Amino acid sequence: MPELPEVETIRRDLSRLIMGRKILDIATDSPKQVQPSLVEVKKATVGAKIKKIERRAKLLQIFLSNGKILAVHLKLTGRLLVRKRDAPKDDWQHITIVLSGNKELRFADLRKFGWIRLIKDKKELEKLLSEFGPEPLDSLDLKKFKAILASSGRPVKIVLMDQKKISGVGNIYANDALFLAKIDPRRPAKKITEKEVKKLYQALEKVLKAGIKFRGASDQYYLDALGRKGSYQDHFLTYGREGKKCFDCGGEIKRIKIGGRGTFFCPKCQK
Ligand SMILES: [Zn+2]
């Protein structure tokens, strides 16, 4: 699933590529992914211009000149692609937003769990965003982070990935942050010492910033808004590296499951 760095990369691309363009038409062959309905979304957005694009957690928000907002969640395999209108159809292209200037914003999604949702106003948007925890690299300060970890006896990795507690962190960056902080992902969050909390906070910031710098991880489906791969997968510390050598001690990276998710760590380095 695209995480904070992947969605942020797309946000920056879209801001550069489609700002100021007018929505001319919307079409879909997967009506369930356009909410509340294609008819209502078209009625509210066709003719409006794209004013700004923001991200909160893994959710993108396209603000329009008429006050309406389109919220977009990529879920597991969603892609947002900016193409010329006559460009060949993209794989799994299910929603097409026709824009002025001979462009299309295409939503492609193999698994079809992603969605585009019409938000009527800022109040409705606030309600939608209120379910997300603070934003790493922004509103999540060390004090808040400490309190979040102290409040849960669940494995620290699960707490890092809980969107209600902390926004935007998924499996890739949680694994790598715990490796950098030398913390065993199974440890109860509240048992993490004060010194370790600080290390983990800094590690999380470091891996997320690396993710953005390398324009996301394309080990699976993720592509940026021009259909190009990111390269953070070439810099994974533990994620997907089962059986390979630990970069720190040369020991073997192990894979276990925590909360049903593949978890990669070095048993020698991470205590
Ligand atoms: Zn190691």
Alpha-carbon gap, residue 127 to 254, rounded angstroms = 40
- Does the annotation count 16 as an active-site position? no
Check 134, 261, 267, 268 and give the catalytic one: 261
- Does the annotation count 135 as an active-site position? no
User: What does the pLDDT look like over 150-204, one tens digit per residue?
Assistant: 999 999 999 999 999 999 999 999 999 999 999 999 999 999 999 999 999 999 9
**Does the domain made of 4-129 have the CATH classification 3.20.190.10?**
yes
| Ligand 1 geometric centre to CA of 268 (Å) | 5
Q: What is the pLDDT of residue 211?
A: 98
| Ligand 1 geometric centre to CA of 218 (Å) | 25
- Does the annotation count 58 as an active-site position? yes
| Ligand 1 geometric centre to CA of 248 (Å) | 5
The answer to whether the CB of 66 falls within 8 A of the CB of 37 is no
pTM recorded for the entire structure: 0.97
In percent, how much of the chain has pLDDT > 70?
A: 100
**Does the domain made of 142-265 have the CATH classification 1.10.8.50?**
yes
Domain chopping of the chain, boundaries: 4-129, 142-265
Alpha-carbon gap, residue 118 to 198, rounded angstroms = 39
| Ligand 1 geometric centre to CA of 232 (Å) | 20
The answer to whether the CB of 179 falls within 8 A of the CB of 247 is no
Q: How confident is the model at residue 4 (pLDDT cuts 50, 70, 90)?
A: very high
Q: What is the DSSP secondary-structure string of 65-134?
A: TTS-EEEEE-TTTEEEEEEETTSPPPTTEEEEEEETTTEEEEEEESS---EEEEE-SHHHHHHHHTTS-P
- Does the annotation count 54 as an active-site position? no
Question: How high is the mean pLDDT of the chain?
Answer: 98
Check 11, 21, 58, 79 and give the catalytic one: 58
User: What does the pLDDT look like over 98-134, one tens digit per residue?
Assistant: 999 999 999 999 999 999 999 999 999 999 999 999 9
The answer to whether the CB of 197 falls within 8 A of the CB of 144 is no
* Residues around ligand 1, an ion, CB closer than 5 A: 246, 248-249, 251, 266, 268-269
Q: What is the pLDDT of residue 169?
A: 98
